[in-house]
């Protein structure tokens, strides 16, 4: 398969004449059949009339060129009314918005992949806000999930929300897996936070219980400071006077 943009500017070679008969200017898409109907060919000449090669007449699509059996394969639009009708409809996949049947905007189609043997569209490459909310980069959507290809809009099934494939430098992963892994990580974080909070609360409760038990069985002992030992508790005046009288009475020097 090949991206549609890779067809542009490829030379078209006639096997019978052994010469280049034109270059590819673009592709004509049949939206109802979801396939490439024809190649738009540009040829040198005084009258630069747009010409086409029906994809069914393509012999081979190689790495560097497209081959056809003979030059007469290239035809004017007047001989291909169906192709002309498709070009007038101006259906372009690249740049079209992709929306699900339930109304979720997936993003915008950047390109599409073509089966080189049949011209069938295999899938879409797209990017946009929905994809960016999950990861950076682009995603691939299988054409089987596409319901309708319109002029500026592509409608796909709701299943596309989980069946699209992440494209990241060769790494392919379904969005279902990306969403699940992200969800699992979040749930794991929440669970661990809950467990940590529970452990902290249990530890605090245990410390409080131990302190309470220690307070009931072993009264706290407070050692007086040196300063407090030097301090003398003050005596009330009445008690001081009575103490002095008692001292004077007991003094042997005051006895007759």
Residue-wise pLDDT tens digits, 134-175: 666 789 999 999 999 999 999 999 999 888 888 864 444 555
Residue 131: which CATH number? 2.30.30.240
> For the chain, which ranges sit under pLDDT 50?
169-172, 178-183, 185-186, 189-190, 192-193, 196, 200, 217-219, 221-222, 224, 226-232, 253-256
Exposure b/e, 181-208, CB count within 10 A at least 16 = b: eeeeeeeeeeeeeeeeeeeeeeeeeeee
H or E, element range at 240: helix 237-250
Q: Please tell me the predicted confidence (pLDDT) of residue 242.
A: 64
Q: Please tell me the predicted confidence (pLDDT) of residue 165.
A: 86
Task: Please report where in the chains the tokens 């990306």 appear, as a residue.
Answer: 178
Residue 27: which CATH number? 3.90.50.10
Q: Please tell me the predicted confidence (pLDDT) of residue 214.
A: 57
What is the spatial distance between Cα 110 and Cα 182, in angstroms, rounded to a whole number? 26
Residue 137 lies in a domain: yes
112's CB contacts (< 8 A; 6+ apart) are: 3, 4, 93, 94, 121, 122, 123, 124, 125
Task: Please report where in the chains the tokens 């010469």 appear, as a residue.
Answer: 19
| 108 and 126 housed in the same domain | yes
Structure tokens at 4: 């549609």
| 73 and 129 housed in the same domain | no
Q: Please tell me the predicted confidence (pLDDT) of residue 189.
A: 39
Strands 51-54 and 105-114: unpaired
Q: First vs last Cα of the chain: how many Å apart?
A: 137
Q: Please tell me the predicted confidence (pLDDT) of residue 207.
A: 52
| 77 and 117 housed in the same domain | no
Residue 113 lies in a domain: yes
Residue 247 lies in a domain: no
Q: Please tell me the predicted confidence (pLDDT) of residue 250.
A: 54
Residue 14 lies in a domain: yes
In the listed set 179, 209, 241, which residue is the last one of a domain according to the structure? 179
Domain count, the chain: 2
Domain residues for the domain of 108 are 97-179
| 107 and 168 housed in the same domain | yes
In the listed set 69, 89, 109, which residue is the last one of a domain according to the structure? 89
Percent of the chain with pLDDT over 70: 61
What is the spatial distance between Cα 98 and Cα 153, in angstroms, rounded to a whole number? 6
In the listed set 89, 109, 126, which residue is the last one of a domain according to the structure? 89
């Amino acid at each position: 398969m090949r991206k549609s943009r890779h067809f542009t500017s490829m030379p078209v070679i006639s096997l019978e004449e052994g010469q280049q008969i034109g270059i590819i200017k673009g592709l004509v898409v049949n939206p109802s059949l979801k396939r490439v109907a024809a190649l738009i060919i540009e040829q040198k000449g005084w009258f630069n009339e747009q010409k086409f090669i029906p994809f069914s007449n393509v012999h081979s699509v190689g790495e560097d060129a497209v081959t056809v059996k003979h030059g007469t394969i290239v035809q004017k639009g007047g001989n291909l009314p169906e192709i002309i009708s498709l070009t007038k409809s101006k259906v372009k996949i690249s740049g079209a918005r992709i929306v699900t049947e339930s109304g979720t905007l997936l993003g915008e189609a950047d390109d599409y992949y073509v089966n080189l043997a049949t011209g069938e569209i295999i899938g879409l490459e797209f990017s946009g806000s929905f994809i960016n909310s999950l990861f950076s980069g682009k995603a691939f959507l299988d054409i089987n999930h596409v319901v309708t290809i319109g002029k500026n809009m592509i409608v796909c099934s709701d299943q596309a929300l989980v069946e699209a494939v992440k494209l990241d430098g060769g790494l392919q992963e379904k969005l279902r897996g990306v969403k699940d892994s992200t969800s699992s990580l979040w749930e794991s974080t929440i669970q661990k936070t809950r467990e940590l909070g529970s452990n902290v609360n249990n530890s605090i409760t245990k410390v409080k219980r131990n302190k309470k038990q220690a307070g009931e069985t072993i009264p706290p002992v407070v050692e007086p400071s040196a300063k407090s030992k030097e301090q003398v508790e003050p005596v009330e005046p009445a008690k001081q006077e009575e103490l002095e009288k008692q001292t004077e009475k007991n003094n042997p020097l005051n006895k007759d």
